[in-house]
């Protein structure tokens, strides 16, 4: 079961019926302007960087506009999973989301995936946007995992088996 939510101070009820609205964490698509530039933290040119992520995300032409988000992803991909981790030596799903939201969107979230879910507002799956939080119930009746929506049904998360990855 997947839920998508918006960070807000008010809680709304959510249907677990997949045809109903699901939780979606909406953050502004624009990134911090002070960090915009034509190069990335890596040795890639802007075009090479865009091509790399267009390929990974299945974009036909560069839809990469939030460079701060993709710099973060580039920097954290393949960091190993560590329960309750919040560093490059190991990170879990809620730690990764909190770090990304703080660095890219200058917002603060904290707690487990279930507690973050309870701090957010629902939106419909059709309204998913880059940077939205998505939540999962895996082998449980409770929220037990979360990630950050990118594009084309792909999301960033910290997987127990693969560390920080982009998945479908």
DSSP H helices, 13-117, are 46-57, 67-76, 93-105, 113-117
What CATH number did the domain enclosing 150 receive?
3.90.1720.10
Q: What is the mean pLDDT of residues 114-142?
A: 90
From 7, 23, 93, 161, active-site residue? 93
Q: What percent of the chain has pLDDT over 70?
A: 73
Enumerate residues 6+ apart whose C-beta is below 8 A from 31. Answer: 66, 67, 68, 69, 104, 105
Per annotation, catalytic residue among 7, 23, 145, 161: 145
Residue 115 has pLDDT above 90, yes or no: yes
Contact 40, 49 (CB under 8 A): yes
Single out the residue of 160, 47, 26 nearest to residue 105, CA to CA: 26
Residue 60 pLDDT grade (very low, low, confident, very high; cuts 50, 70, 90): confident
Domain count, the chain: 1
Q: Phi, psi at residue 104, to the nearest 5°?
A: -90, -40
pLDDT recorded at residue 149: 94
DSSP state of 78: T
Domain limits for position 123:
2-167
Q: Using pLDDT thresholds of 50, 70 and 90, give the confidence band for residue 8.
A: very low
* Active-site residue, 145 included: yes
Location of structure tokens 């957010």: 120
Q: Please, what's the b/e burial string for 15-36 (b: 16 or more CB within 10 A of its CB; e: otherwise)?
A: eeeeeebbbbbbbeeebeeeee
Nearest to 83 by CA among 69, 71, 93, 98: 93
Is residue 157 annotated as a catalytic residue, yes or no?
A: yes
Q: Look up 161 and say whether it is catalytic.
A: no
pLDDT of 69-102, one tens digit each? 999 999 999 999 999 999 999 999 999 999 999 9
Annotated catalytic residue, options 7, 23, 157, 161: 157
- 23: confidence class by pLDDT, cuts 50, 70, 90: very low
């Amino acid at each position: 079961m997947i839920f998508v939510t918006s960070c807000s101070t008010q809680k709304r009820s959510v249907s677990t019926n997949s045809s109903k609205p699901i939780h979606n964490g909406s953050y502004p698509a624009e990134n911090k302007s002070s960090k915009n530039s034509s190069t990335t933290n890596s040795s890639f040119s802007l075009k090479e960087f865009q091509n790399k992520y267009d390929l990974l995300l299945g974009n036909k032409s560069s839809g990469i506009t939030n460079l701060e988000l993709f710099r973060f992803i580039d920097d954290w991909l393949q960091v190993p999973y560590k329960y309750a981790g919040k560093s490059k030596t190991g990170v879990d799903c809620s730690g990764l989301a909190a770090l990304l939201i703080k660095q890219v969107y200058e917002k603060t979230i904290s707690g487990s995936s279930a507690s973050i879910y309870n701090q957010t507002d629902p939106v419909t799956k059709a309204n998913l946007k880059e940077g939205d939080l998505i939540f999962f119930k895996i082998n449980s009746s409770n929220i037990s995992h979360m990630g950050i929506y990118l594009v084309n049904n792909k999301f960033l998360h910290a997987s127990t088996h693969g560390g920080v990855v982009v998945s479908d």
